Structure 1
Amino acid sequence: MKIFKMFSLTSALALATIVVSSSASASPIDGNATWSWGPLRVADIGHGGDNDVYVQFRNADGTIRNRWPNASGAEICGGSATLRLARGRTNFKEMLESLNIAGLSGRTVWVWYEPTDRVCYIKRLGVAMQ
């Protein structure tokens, strides 16, 4: 009986460690994002020497967006006007195509973003089709 209790406790602790560590660590290529902003328009798309894509967005008034707040309104992207799309994403091509189409057609987008190692990455994207 003691062995069963010890095994159960060890299993529960191991599972808690796995769950907590996976939810607490964001990566540039996962789809998890807490914060979002929109409606925006794609202003500029650039390809970096690191093979990632750098995207700037315009606010409704035409200014370049350089404030990416969290839920409490605090800036989390260091005032950067550029969000990054990591090439390592499994849906990199599809997201880049959506950004290009939205930019060329003037459609508004909604962007989900998340900072990782002081760099803000695009995690999800919605394009208005109206």
Structure 2
Amino acid sequence: MREAARELVTSGEEDSDVEALNVIQLSLSNKVIREKSLTSRLYLKQRLSQLKMSPRTSVGDHVNPFNQIVVDLANTEVKIEDDDQTLLLLCSLLEAYESFVDTILYGRISITLEDVKASLNSKELQKKVMEHHGGNGEGMSRG
């Protein structure tokens, strides 16, 4: 009975040691990222400002690297304001989205990054529905 109790305690100690090690490793990696050099911060800013959507890329596949760069910048203690992120994301879209960008920007007092992402997702869903129906609007009802 005592052997079983010792094994449980030892097993519990090992679990807490593993948890502690994981926390330390995460803390260290975040600290290392935050302590990146000026060159790294400038590189990340450059990547964000030069990010362009590829022609055959879905909106989601384009937004994911955008989000990752913003997170990487935040980890180096560089904060990109929401309105700047919004503008950078809109400017990174393909020329085919030009009318979408015009529509979403003009006539508004304010717009959030989440509004833009939601609108982009809706537009992509609409595009997929149109492609599914042969691009001629079949199956679409008039309101």
Same fold (TM over 0.5): no
Question: Could you state the TM-score of these two structures normalised by the residue count of structure 2?
Answer: 0.28
Name the structure with the higher helix share. Answer: 2
Question: Could you state the TM-score of these two structures normalised by the residue count of structure 1?
Answer: 0.30
